[in-house]
Amino acid sequence: MVIEKSVLAIITTNKEKVAGGAPIFICNDFDELQKVAANLEAIIDGIAHALSDELFIIVKH
Amino acid sequence: MNEYTMPIVFGVVVGTIGRMMMLRTDYRQYPTYLHGKIIHVALGFIAASLGAVAVPAIMEMNFTAVTFLTVAATQFREVRNMERNTLSEIDDFELVSRGKAYIEGIAISFESRNYLVILTAFVGTLFYLIWNVYMAIIGAIICLIISKVLQSGSTIKDLVDIEYAPPHFDGAGLYVDNIYIMNIGLPERQEEILKYGMGFVLIPKNLNVVNTIAHLGQRQAILHDVSVSLGVFRDSGTPALVPLIKRDLDDGRIAVFILPQIRDREKAIQIIGAVPVLETAIRMPSKSDVRNREAN
């Protein structure tokens, strides 16, 4: 089976809510979260999706 | 020189002219320049020769010679493969890919055009031998007109009404009209998309059309054509800036989200309207007996 989409990174300001497989980046506030997400998006050619204000994921499509 | 020389030359010439007429470089950008064209004119010349020579072969009661037309069929199937392979190879490097269905459509038309050339050359030579050169010219012109008519299929604007609908965000979700396109997390990306993006809604005119425009290949063809004609605001490594088409499951409407460099609403509507309907995408549910019985 070919996996077409995968979560490459998780960026959050609330570490209580995340765990598991993908690399997790914990940020202090929303500004930092956005910067980290923007950089990661550019670096790994994925798309930054917002699940909520405190939780972003980078997905490779 | 014998009695067949002039008719054959005539047939070959009109056939080749026919191929040149059908070979035009337009927004599909294919075939583009000299070398691509030379290949097709040369193949058109071969096709025309085959069509023209078939007539004297029949008149000389040399019926087995006509079987070489089967060789022609094999040959032109090869043309189709060649086009398919070339376009598929290139497709990976397009910013917005053509998609397999569109490529198949182009390849089919290359094959069929060669058969039209054979027909034109055949008719030209036949009329020349039966009547005279003037009848042959008339016959050839009729054939060329038929070829021109067969060449152009229907376009998207025959199937749908196209309306402009500006893209907007609801939270992180990008919408065109009420159709969800994708989730964009970063506010700066959202700003880019609102600045450069355009949205269109295609409203199907009847039930047959719903399935045709839902075809993924047809949708990709629309995106490709619009991107070629209006430019595209994206680069490799920016997957967030990707033009997308999504479908409204309730009523079969299609939302087109594009990021053109030329943001001209009217032009974009015309270009979407001029996208060819792919033969492989055409569905005719109204011709299904069972469905019609239940509907009545």
Task: Profile chain B (296 residues) by mean pLDDT over runs of 10 residues.
Answer: 86 90 66 77 90 87 81 85 88 88 87 89 91 90 86 84 92 90 88 90 88 90 90 83 90 91 90 88 80 67
Residue B168, amino acid = H
Supply the pLDDT for residue A1.
Answer: 65
Residue A41 touches partner B, C-beta closer than 8 Å: yes
| Domain assignment of residue A21, yes or no | yes
Mutation target vs B (from A41, A44, A59; most B CBs, 10 A cutoff): A41
Q: Of B24, B7, B42, give the one whose Cα is nearest residue B121.
A: B7
Is B182 in CB contact (< 8 Å) with chain A?
A: yes
Q: Cβ of B62: how many Cβ atoms within 10 Å?
A: 10
ipTM over 0.90: no
Put simply, the answer to whether A48 touches B239 (Cβ < 8 Å) is no
Confidence (pLDDT) at B29: 55
What region, left, alpha or beta, does residue B3 occupy, with left being phi > 0 and alpha being psi -120 to 50 degrees? alpha
Inside any domain, residue A1: no
Q: Which of A34, A42, A47 sits opposite B187 (nearest CB)?
A: A34
Domain count, chain A: 1
The closest alpha carbon to B165, from B197, B212, B209, belongs to B197
For residue A18, being part of any structural domain is answered with yes
List Cβ neighbours of B32 (8 Å cut-off, separation of 6 or more): B25
Q: Under an 8 A CB cutoff, do B239 and A45 touch? A: yes
Tokens 């397009």 -> residue: B94
**Does residue A20 fall inside a structural domain?**
yes
Q: Does A8 touch chain B (CB under 8 A)?
A: no
First-to-last C-alpha distance (Å) of chain A: 16
pLDDT for B28: 58
Radius of gyration of chain A (CA): 11
Mutation for B interface: A44, A49, A55, most B CBs within 10 A: A49
The C-alpha torsion from B181 through B216 and B227 to B35, rounded to 10°, is: 160
Strand, helix or coil for residue A61: coil
Tell me, what DSSP letter sits at residue B232?
A: -
Output the CA–CA distances (angstroms, integers) from residue B274 to A47, B186, B221, in the order listed.
Answer: 32, 35, 11
Domain boundaries, position A26: 6-60
Is A15 within the bounds of a domain? Answer: yes
Structure tokens at B163: 């309306």
What local confidence, expressed as pLDDT, does residue B150 receive? 79
**Backbone torsions φ then ψ of B198, nearest 5 degrees:** -135, 150
CB atoms inside a 10 Å sphere around CB B27: 12
pLDDT of residue B27: 54
Rounded to whole angstroms, the Cα distance separating B8 from B262 reads 50
Closest CA to B224 of B107, B87, B111: B87
pLDDT value for B86: 86
Which is it for the CA torsion A11, A15, A19, A23, positive or negative? positive
Is residue A47, in this structure, part of any structural domain at all? yes
Flag residues of chain A having pLDDT under 50: none
Structure tokens, B249: 């499951």
Picking from A41, A57, A61, the nearest residue to B186 by CB comes out as A41
Predicted pLDDT of residue B169:
92
Structure tokens at B121: 């050359």
Q: How many CA within 13 A on the CB side of residue B7?
A: 26
Q: Does any domain span residue A54? A: yes
Whether the CB of B237 is below 8 Å from some CB of chain A: the reply is yes
User: Cβ separation of B186 and A48 shorter than 8 Å?
Assistant: yes
Instruction: Return phi, psi of residue B258, to 5°.
Output: -130, 160
